[in-house]
Amino acid sequence: MPSRLHRFHGGLHLDGHKQESLARGLEQATLPPQLVLPLRQHIGDYNKPLVEVGTRVLKGETIASSSSPICAALHASSSGIVSAIENRPIAHPSGQSDLCMVIDVDGKDEATPAQAVDPHRLSADDMLRRIGDAGIVGLGGAAFPTAPKLRRGRGNNVDTLIINGVECEPYITCDDMLMREYADEVVRGCGFLQRMVDPRATLIAIEDNKPEAVEAMKRALTAQPLAATEIVVIPTLYPSGGEKQLIQVLTGKEVPHGQLAFDIGLLCQNVGTCVAIARALDSGEPLISRIVTVSGDNVARPGNWEVRLGTPVAHLLELAGGYRHRDESYLIMGGPMMGFALSGDRVPIVKASNCILAMREETIPHTPGYHDECIRCGKCTEVCPASLLPQQLYWHARARAYDRSRDFHLFDCIECGCCSAVCPSRIPLVQYYRAAKSEIRAAQKAQFKSDRARARFEFREKRLLLKKQQDEERKRLKREALQKKRKLPTGEAAASDPVQAALARVKERKKAVQDETP
């Protein structure tokens, strides 16, 4: 239990804009006519489709999976006919398309028969397998498959389990709403997690700008008490919801460079993930829906909806009353600090989509394509929650001196956007860092490929050399064997010239022919 809270370097107090989407309670989104489910909605490998075009699938049926360890299966979010498996635009900063399964919804919402299993009888390994089968990924935004994360946590002696209900980014209220509505399930999921990783203490962290959620969670925890579990209310400061920052606030420990939370005996899980785990283990229900906040100053009726995965953003926006100003919409998936612009409203909601923001273009803080020069004021350094030197990173990223960027720990940047937000020259710093990171990753990929090619080339050279040597060896043995053979039968004949011997043989044959003819 933390005797006192700590704080991380920097951070920002931002306008919450949370009330807009909290004005009404949680609503269930209606089914869209068509669901578009990208085959990969997580960090890791692609799923392979398990059903063909034309197949009728039921709600909750596994429609794609993979044998890769870092993967989460995909399930049909409603019943219908698989009408296509093709490239469709997805929610990605590139605006590109990716392989999706398209389901024409039949509206019956018929589910696969539930497999009722008493979760208390399940062993930890069974629970992990079920979590993997249910396609659960971290719902806080990163979408890392939960089962492999928990497996690693189990192997690393988790001292403290941290349940993240912080949700520090402006506008986003989906976790707040989730804790208000499904506090019991959060606590149940938390109990399952405790059984799996056996922590000494569990901390449920919630920011102090969500008093209703704190109350709901306290009530749920009183109703079903858990051992050594405490709700910790932390001060509102962006980005306390980041895993590393939250760890620092709660424990005072910093996750060392190049390491992960397990390495210092901690495991973080989002509250939404807890609910998904509770549902998967209690009723065998896979991850087919999530709560999404729809907000922004260009939405008529902001709020939170429980949405089936694969629902197009356009359908969700219609439920939210549509745009206020249709012509000037600017769509963002995620929050205003860390989200990315969407290419359009045809893209589907995926496991990682926590928020859809429709903004008017004039309220977008940065005008793309223009920024002033850095005046070296150092404000970015003051607010950086990772204690980096954003200005140095900027110079090196801009000069494309990527080695230097790495020396300044570019990869410790969590892309929270604090530096860009305070920059008086309005430099889109995070975009520079993201570009530098992609260049470095591409170079690493190329290096990996060329190292492989070198290894294969050298192996081939070696193989060819070996073959040549073996051929020569074989020839030599053959030659020797031939010589021996000749030597063996008649000592004298073999010793004489082979040409003479051949001539003699020909003469003999001719003589024989002549003898026969007369």
Partner 1 sequence: MLLAIITISLMAGFFGLVLGYASIRFRVEGNPIVDQIDSLLPQTQCGQCTYAGCRPYAEAIANGEAPINRCPPGGQTTIVALADLLDTEVLELNEELGEHLEVPLVAVIDEQTCIGCTLCIQACPVDAILGAARHMHTVIADECTGCKLCVPPCPVDCIDMVPERRTIDDWKWSPPIQAGSSDHAV
- Minimal distance in Å, beta carbon 430 to partner 1? 9
Interior angle at CA 339, CA 333 and CA 341, nearest 5: 60
Closest distance of CB 68 from partner 1, Å:
14
**Distance of alpha carbon 236 from alpha carbon 154, whole angstroms:** 31
Rounded Cα distance between 418 and 433, Å, is: 13
Cβ neighbours around 36 below 10 Å, total: 23
Which lies closer to partner 1 via its Cβ, residue 23 or residue 370? 370
* CA-based nearest residue to 58, from 307, 288, 319: 288
**Where does this chain bind partner 1 (CB under 8 A)?**
90, 92-94, 96-98, 368-373, 395-401, 427-428, 431-432, 434-439, 442, 446, 449-454, 456-457, 459-460
Minimum CB distance to partner 1 smaller for 198 or for 372: 372
- Residues 189 and 153: their CA atoms lie apart, in Å, by 16
Cβ at position 236, least distance to partner 1 in Å: 30
Q: How far is the CB of 349 from partner 1 (least distance, A)?
A: 18
- Phi, psi (degrees; rounded to nearest 5) at 373: -75, 155
Given the DSSP bridges, would you call strands 329-333 and 289-295 parallel, antiparallel or unpaired? unpaired
Angle made by CA atoms 239, 189, 120, in degrees to the nearest 5: 160
* Cα gap 325→363, rounded to integer Å: 13
Q: Kindly state the smallest distance separating residue 473's Cβ from partner 1, in Å.
A: 21
CB of 432 to partner 1, least distance (A): 6
Least distance between partner 1 and beta carbon 461 (Å)? 9
* Residues 6+ positions from 267 with CB-CB distance below 8 Å: 149, 150, 153, 158, 160, 161, 162, 193, 197, 199, 261
